[in-house]
Amino acid sequence: MGKELYKTLFLKFLHHCPLRDVLLYSGDAEIVACGDEMTTYRLGKALMVVREFFKTIDEEDLVATRRDCENDGGEEAYMMKRGFW
């Protein structure tokens, strides 16, 4: 895959809670406040983390975990539950 495709995958799945967990835990993401709370990610190493992450999951996992995240009160609740916030 080319770099642009990785950026597309990266941006498409930023909302995916387990991926956010992986990026935040690995130190390749940081939370910044800018009016509303926003999450920004450093590209580069983070793209390698994303590539490895997607090697370990399939589409059903993506759908199921996203649905679980939404049912549990959204991403903030998901992250708090796992001790990130």
pLDDT in tens, 10-37: 555 555 666 666 666 666 555 443 334 4
Residue 24 domain-assigned?
yes
- Domain tally, the chain: 1
80: in domain: no
Q: Which range of residues forms the domain containing residue 59?
A: 3-66
Is residue 77 included in any domain, yes or no? Answer: no
Q: What is the pTM of this model?
A: 0.28
**Residue 16 within a domain:** yes
Residue 28 counted as domain residue: yes
Name the DSSP class of 40: E
From 5-14, 19-28, 62-71, the region with the lowest mean pLDDT: 5-14
CB 7 within 8 A of CB 46: no
- DSSP character at residue 29: E
